[in-house]
Amino acid sequence: MEPVLSAPQPSTTPGVTPPTAAEGQFGDYDFIVVSNRLAVDRVVDEHGESSWRRSPGGLVTALAPVMAKADGAWVGWHGAPDETLEPFDEATMRLVPVPLSAEEVELYYEGFSNATLWPLYHDVIASPEFHRTWWDSYRKVNERFAAATATVAAEGATVWVQDYQLQLVPKMLRQARPDLKIGFFNHIPFPPLEIYAQLPWRRQVIEGLLGADLIGFQRPSDASNFLRCVRRFKGHTIKSQQVHVPAGDDGIPAYVSRAEAFPISIDTASITELAHRPDVIERSKEIRRELGDPQHILLGVDRLDYTKGIGHRLKAYGELLEDGAITVEDAALIQVASPSRERVEQYRLLREDIEGAVGRINGTHDTMKNTAIRYLHHSYPVEEMVALYLAADVMLVTALRDGMNLVAKEYVAARTGNTGMLVLSEFAGAADTLRQAILVNPHDIDGLKAAIVSAINMPKTEAMRRMRLMRRQVVQNDVERWSQAFLSALQSGSHDSGE
């Protein structure tokens, strides 16, 4: 049975860092995951009663079995500002909520994390903003996450810190609890030195990350970028991706921190199971009928984010219609653009641009029976997403910069009959392993147009050969293998990704 919400603590004020564990005292948990959000979502039933439901994301799916075996705890924000909750249990894990005020959500999360780090780490596709008040909030929130973790961790526990919102936590943890084994994984790209150098707090962030025994990245190039920045801004000795961190004034003795690539993946088994379900298969057929049963269905599935290259995709598709290379009678594009960071001005403007482009293309090319682009600004349950994957003959992933792009892997996993074709940006991490996709530079509109036409017209035997090889890669390297590879490398000091 799912636990009910714990009562808020009226005496605790969000913004005040909780105390760390007293010297010589330890918590009860041998494995701790630290992320910006907890592994659960709050749900409210028809009677207004609140409870928790485990989040459906791949990270939670991958780590839940580890939690069960290792007596685990998950540290993160529970999603409601200005509310403080006691730790509580959900199934096999302990949930440790970290409070955030509404101001901290604005400054630490929407500000420094998503208007400074996100654009900077995605090759400044949008201009990052640098504000000292944002940095101060980021540092204070990271301190609170580190303190909460130090309090619940058992002696010698393993701690795995997740993603760019918490880059300062590893060093803070090492200072507070040198007995811990600390890992960090960066789910987004790490930028080249020449771009990273713009960050005013570049040394502090590098120092924070180097607090980890193992720093994981999506691609080898990300790890190389990080090590170049370490060499340039810290001057530490680096040998075979190992950084020799000297003893410092903070009392931390000398140690070795490693930076390596661990490409993340998906819960392949669950996607494959859904792809075989009769109701999902029937829904995929219904989608085709709703579109007028065109000969070719193309699909884009993205968060509405400027890194995803949605505008480039629409421009290429619109020009193909203008050129007569495709017609609305024979082809249709479904574009799912799930809402994202709608309080941020850049994202509001992006939505206006995308919806304007869709309107112009449809206004020019639609007929009474056929629509050029079916634009869906919604989030959908995974069952509907798999039905869309089954309905689509061609998947378009045109990211301008992406750490991995799991949608590409989900599409491949869903194509259990080895049909369909993937057009994949070379700037997505998935391009490193899904090499049989049609790889494109999305900035090259003519090249992107040619790739779409090639995908539509590819001979069936060639398409099936490519998809078979891609499916083998995704099936053999699922998200559970990813987590096991990282944690094994963290414990042993060595790494074999199996890629």
Q: Is there a catalytic annotation at residue 402?
A: yes
| Identified catalytic residue from 78, 187, 312, 365 | 187
Question: In whole angstroms, what is the distance from residue 330 CA to residue 348 CA?
Answer: 33
Query: What rounded mean pLDDT belongs to the chain?
Result: 91
User: Is the confidence at residue 276, as pLDDT, over 50?
Assistant: yes
pLDDT at 10 over 60: no
For the stretch 65-108, pLDDT in tens is 788 788 799 999 999 999 999 999 987 889 999 999 999 999 99
Question: How many Cβ atoms from other residues are within 10 Å of residue 419's Cβ?
Answer: 12
CA distances in angstroms from 483 to 62, 184, 479, listed in the order given: 7, 12, 6
275 shares a domain with 126? no
Q: Confirm whether 323 is a catalytic residue.
A: no
Give dist(CA 469, CA 462) in Å, integer. Answer: 11
Q: For residues 229 and 139, what is the distance between their CA atoms, to the nearest angstrom? A: 20
Contact 113, 138 (CB under 8 A): yes
Position 279 pLDDT exceeds 60: yes
Nearest-angstrom CA–CA distance, 238 and 243: 5
Residue-wise pLDDT tens digits, 318-373: 999 999 999 999 999 999 999 887 777 778 889 999 999 999 999 999 999 999 99
Q: Do 278 and 238 have their domain in common?
A: no
| Shared domain check, 487 and 467 | no
Q: In a 10 Å sphere around its CB, with 0-12 CB exposed, 13-18 middle and 19+ buried, how is residue 462 labelled? A: exposed
How far is CA 189 from its chain centroid? 10
Each residue's pLDDT tens digit, 473-484: 999 999 999 999
- The CATH number given to whatever domain includes residue 71 is 3.40.50.2000
Please indicate, yes or no, whether residues 288 and 326 belong to a single structural domain of this protein.
yes
Question: Do 254 and 273 reside in the same domain of the chain?
Answer: no
309 occurs within a structural domain: yes
Separation of alpha carbons 247 and 252, rounded Å: 6
Q: Are residues 233 and 342 in the same domain?
A: no
The pLDDT tens digits of the residues spanning 234-272 come to: 999 999 999 999 998 777 889 999 999 999 999 999 999
Q: Is residue 24 part of a domain?
A: no
Q: Tell me which residue has tokens 């970028």.
A: 225
Residue 283 and residue 305: Cα distance in Å, rounded?
A: 28
User: Among positive and negative, which fits the CA dihedral 346, 347, 351, 357?
Assistant: positive
In a domain, 17, yes or no: no
Report which DSSP code applies to 265.
-
Q: Are 220 and 193 in contact (CB under 8 A)?
A: no
**Does a structural domain hold residue 12?**
no
Q: What is the largest CA-CA distance in the chain?
A: 75
Query: Do both 338 and 435 map to the same domain?
Result: yes
Domain hosting 68: range is: 29-265+480-492
Do 450 and 393 reside in the same domain of the chain?
yes
Determine whether 303 is exposed, middle or buried from the number of CB atoms within 10 Å of its CB (0-12, 13-18, 19+): middle
Q: Which residue among 213, 402, 478, 495 is the active-site one?
A: 402
Residue 254, domain member (yes or no): yes
Q: Is 22 among the domain residues?
A: no
Number of domains observed in the structure of the chain:
2
Please indicate, yes or no, whether residues 261 and 359 belong to a single structural domain of this protein. Answer: no
